[in-house]
Structure 1
């Protein structure tokens, strides 16, 4: 399988599905692919998906991530951003690589750790998926018990909160309940395409401070 895998070329925006992949094969494939790659993976009960993101996907992901980091910094909240870390749980036979993820309330529990094991470590408090290619696997995030999942698609931000093991769409963030992020994040993302990243982040930080004073 590894020889075949090395021959697979996934064009940007496309995906490849491999069926009947065992857990051990999944782990071996992850090692073979390495950590420094553009492709994202998802594993669900024997089905492995390999997807190559589009350039606009990466741009949106980076700007939204920067906005979340700026918000956390303005709120003076310790956090750890782990990017597209592979989160997996053998007992559930599932694994996922979010576009971005944040440890916020759980940050102190994983502080200093180089590798995470979701059988003993908590999941990230917030995961982000930019769905240029509609690849979000809600069932995997639910199984891994990620409390909050943001899905950005077609210019809109969807906030999903885990309630009784199932995601429920919410008007506000569990991590940032005081802020109208569903409306504001897309606005500042669009603003960055004309004003530039730095100017947009500066304006966003000012908006955050104004909200905190209300």
Structure 2
């Protein structure tokens, strides 16, 4: 099998934007090889594995990457709770489908609404009898999420958020019937929320620190998000 190692921080990025996270891409990897590697790594948060079309990305994340992922997870919980939407988080759980020969661990994944009720508690993932998550979040600090998006589409995940901190960009994506995604201007699972809302909150958290930002978060949901007429499903 062939392998290439790539550091994906752009050479023209500002020095303070550089990220030490790296990824290795292995090509022509069979399903059984991928599963063996995945099970050997187990439940560790690092590295992340993304497997699709016999290509395996092994992603080592950094504090910067994980810091933003945690803020995004907290934001989802606050908005869902404040708007009366049931939620269950699945963190960086591994999602695999042998029939599609794909697998991925998201930066954050969530079940919302009826699926949250179905997946409540500490339930292991089994896509043969359970739904895929309703929302997957991808933070693109040291690598592109393009490969992960292919996997989420084949797994049937209806919504993906992508955050690129180098470009100050948050985008929401809705799955189409053919398994590809199209950009949308409002979340499907959290209907009152826009990409601009999320970007604004991430910038605020970065400016004032996680603790102070989190202390203000529920007030923001109560005063800004919940009063919107389109927050209800």
1:159 matched to 2:168: no
The aligned residue for residue 20 of structure 1 is 28
Structure 1, gaps ≥5 residues long: 2-7
The aligned residue for residue 78 of structure 2 is 70
In the TM superposition, structure 1's runs of 4+ consecutive aligned residues that sit over 4 Å from their partners are: none
Q: Distance in 2 between matches of 1:120 and 1:204?
A: 35
Whether the 8 Å contact between 1:89 and 1:117 is mirrored in structure 2 is no
Cα deviations by residue, 1:35-87 (Å, 9 ceiling, x for unpaired)? 12421110113221101112211111111111111111212322111111110
TM-score, normalised to structure 1's length?
0.88
Q: Secondary structure at the match of 2:99?
A: helix
Cα deviations by residue, 1:141-186 (Å, 9 ceiling, x for unpaired)? 111110000000122110001122321100110012223x311211
Whether the 8 Å contact between 2:110 and 2:133 is mirrored in structure 1 is yes
**Size of the alignment, in residue pairs?**
207
The aligned residue for residue 129 of structure 1 is 138
Whether the 8 Å contact between 1:123 and 1:145 is mirrored in structure 2 is yes
Structure 2, gaps ≥5 residues long: 8-18, 229-233
Residue 113 of structure 1 and its aligned partner are, at CA, apart by: 5.5
Cα deviations by residue, 1:16-44 (Å, 9 ceiling, x for unpaired)? 12222222221111121121242111011
Whether the 8 Å contact between 1:43 and 1:96 is mirrored in structure 2 is yes
